[in-house]
């Protein structure tokens, strides 16, 4: 079956699958008032997820990231990992989590086939962590990161959204933390979403400020590897860990886009900031629908635009990133 390619020649081998919109945190840049259900949610069932993964794998998807909301809130989270692991063609199974269940479940997930974990940790100061996430769970998440390293995860990525006036002075703490740990800390530039224009204007900070500090302290830019995500990575001979910068407002950020998203209710999002989701769920009900599903995917790829429109403040239907998993 042929690989998914868009009209700009970009190939899609990475699926970000959201499995729930629900979240138990209240991150100030994402769900400041907590998760509010819109009607009765009906998220993809395990059998629908299996069919979806099979179809994506047959058109070249090799990596699946399970995200949310908070994906680990799903009771069948381990079964979802297993389903991905059992799908022929899927080579890497990853998740992005706020980490609150890592301490108790890291080993179980590793044994089910999960190999990459990205944990959100916006501050290394417990009080500021609580101020940003609305939860007093700093120590629990930290223990979870240690548990994941012990369980066999080789390198863990930490996501910190760069927030002017909140965590913009935390770089030294992060640097000393990863001196002796195989951890990649990635600073993500705050992205504007439908719910957050005022917040964006108050807190957005360019990743270039971090870049200048790193270069001045002997960190150097590591050449990107084929499997790298959108981060620009920096390393230092005295540090085991690395620093990454995700700068979606930088020039050419989208030129290497290799990812598609499916929402928790089974809609294909061609871009994180798409104007509309494409229903796939009607074609996830029976194994006999696989060919039709694959054709829909190929057709839709022609609609994918060259880049997002964030520079013009156009955020599409993405009210907050919990609705599609970042």
Ligand X SMILES: Nc1nc2c(ncn2[C@@H]2O[C@H](COP(=O)(O)OP(=O)(O)OP(=O)(O)O)[C@@H](O)[C@H]2O)c(=O)[nH]1
Ligand Y SMILES: C[S@@+](CC[C@H](N)C(=O)[O-])C[C@H]1O[C@@H](n2cnc3c(N)ncnc32)[C@H](O)[C@@H]1O
Q: How are strands ordered across the β-sheet holding 183-189?
A: 220-221, 232-235, 242-246, 183-189, 156-162, 116-120, 92-97, 63-67, 14-18, 259-262, 267-269, 278-279
Nearer to ligand Y, 293 or 321 (CB): 321
Measured from the CB atom, the residue of 127 and 179 that comes closer to ligand SF4 is 127
Q: Is 16 annotated as a binding residue?
A: yes
Find tokens 């063609």 and name the residue.
Answer: 89
Q: Is 75 exposed, middle or buried (0-12, 13-18, 19+ CB in 10 A)?
A: exposed
Q: What residue ranges bind ligand SF4 (CB under 6 A)?
A: 23, 25, 27, 30-31, 69-70, 98, 120, 248, 253-254, 257, 259, 271-273, 307-308, 322
CB 68 within 8 A of CB 90: no
Among ligand SF4, ligand Y, ligand X, none, what does residue 190 contact (CB within 5–8 Å per kind)?
ligand Y
Of 68, 69, 196, 229, which lies in the binding site for ligand X, with binding defined by CB under 6 A? Answer: 229
Between residues 124 and 190, which has the closer beta carbon with respect to ligand X? 190
| 129 interacts with ligand Y by CB under 6 A | no
Question: Which position among 68, 69, 71, 230 is part of the footprint of ligand X (CB under 6 A)?
Answer: 230
Choose the contact partner of 193 out of ligand Y, ligand X, ligand SF4, none; CB within 5 to 8 A by kind.
ligand Y
Instruction: Please state, in angstroms and rounded to a whole number, the distance separating the CA atoms of residues 212 and 219.
Output: 10
| Residue 307 interacts with, from ligand SF4, ligand X, ligand Y, none (CB under 5-8 Å by kind) | ligand SF4
Got the DSSP string for 28-86?
Answer: TTT-TT-----SS--PPPHHHHHHHHHHHHHTT--EEEEESSSGGGSTTHHHHHHHHHT
Pick from 259, 267, 269, 304: which binds ligand X (CB under 6 A)? 259
d(CA 49, CA 281): 10
Q: Which of 90, 191, 254, 264 binds ligand Y (CB under 6 A)?
A: 191
CB 87 within 8 A of CB 53: yes
Residue 281 in marked binding region: no
| Residue 325 makes contact with ligand Y by CB under 6 A | yes
In whole angstroms, the minimum distance from the beta carbon of 183 to ligand X comes to: 13
Task: By CB under 6 A, tell whether 243 contacts ligand Y.
Answer: no
Nearest to 220 by CA among 191, 194, 242: 242
> From CA 253, how far away is CA 101, in angstroms rounded?
32
CA 123 to chain CA centroid, Å, is: 18
96 contributes a contact to ligand Y by CB under 6 A = yes
Q: How far is the CB of 30 from ligand SF4 (least distance, A)?
A: 3
Q: State yes or no: 176 annotated in a binding site.
A: no
* Cβ neighbour number for residue 176 with a 10 Å cutoff: 11
Give the 3-state secondary structure of residue 326: coil
Residues making contact with ligand X (CB under 6 A): 65, 67, 94, 96, 116, 118, 157, 159, 188, 229-231, 246, 248, 257, 259, 272, 321, 326
Residues making contact with ligand Y (CB under 6 A): 23, 29-30, 67-68, 70, 96-98, 120, 159, 161, 188, 190-191, 193, 321-322, 325-326
């Amino acid at each position: 079956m042929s690989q998914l390619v868009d009209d700009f020649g970009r190939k899609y081998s990475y699926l970000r699958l959201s499995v729930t919109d629900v979240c138990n945190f209240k991150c100030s840049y994402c769900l400041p008032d907590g998760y509010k259900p819109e009607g009765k949610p009906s998220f993809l069932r395990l059998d629908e997820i299996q069919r979806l993964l099979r179809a994506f794998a047959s058109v070249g998807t090799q990596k699946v990231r399970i995200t949310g909301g908070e994906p680990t809130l799903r009771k069948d989270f381990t079964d979802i990992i297993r389903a991905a692991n059992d799908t022929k063609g899927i080579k890497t199974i990853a998740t992005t989590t706020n980490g609150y269940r890592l301490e108790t479940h890291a080993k179980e997930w590793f044994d089910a086939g999960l190999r990459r974990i990205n944990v959100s940790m916006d501050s290394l100061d417990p009080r500021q962590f609580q101020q940003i996430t609305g939860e007093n769970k700093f120590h629990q998440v930290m223990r979870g990161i240690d548990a994941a390293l012990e369980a066999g995860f080789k390198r863990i990525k930490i996501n910190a959204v760069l927030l002017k006036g909140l965590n913009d002075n935390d770089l030294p703490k992060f640097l000393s933390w990863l001196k002796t740990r195989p951890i990649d800390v990635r600073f993500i530039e705050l992205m504007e979403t439908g719910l957050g224009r005022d917040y964006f204007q108050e807190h957005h900070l360019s990743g270039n400020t971090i870049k200048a500090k790193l270069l001045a302290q002997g960190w150097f830019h590591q050449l990107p590897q084929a499997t790298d995500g959108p981060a620009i990575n920096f390393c230092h001979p005295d540090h085991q860990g690395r620093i990454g910068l995700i700068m979606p407002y930088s020039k050419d950020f989208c030129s290497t886009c290799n990812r598609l998203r499916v929402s928790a209710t089974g809609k294909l999002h061609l871009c994180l900031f798409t104007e509309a989701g494409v229903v796939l769920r009607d074609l996830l009900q029976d194994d006999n629908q696989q060919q039709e599903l694959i054709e829909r995917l190929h057709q839709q790829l022609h609609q994918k635009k060259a880049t997002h429109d964030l520079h013009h403040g156009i955020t599409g239907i993405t009210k907050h990133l919990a609705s599609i998993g970042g």
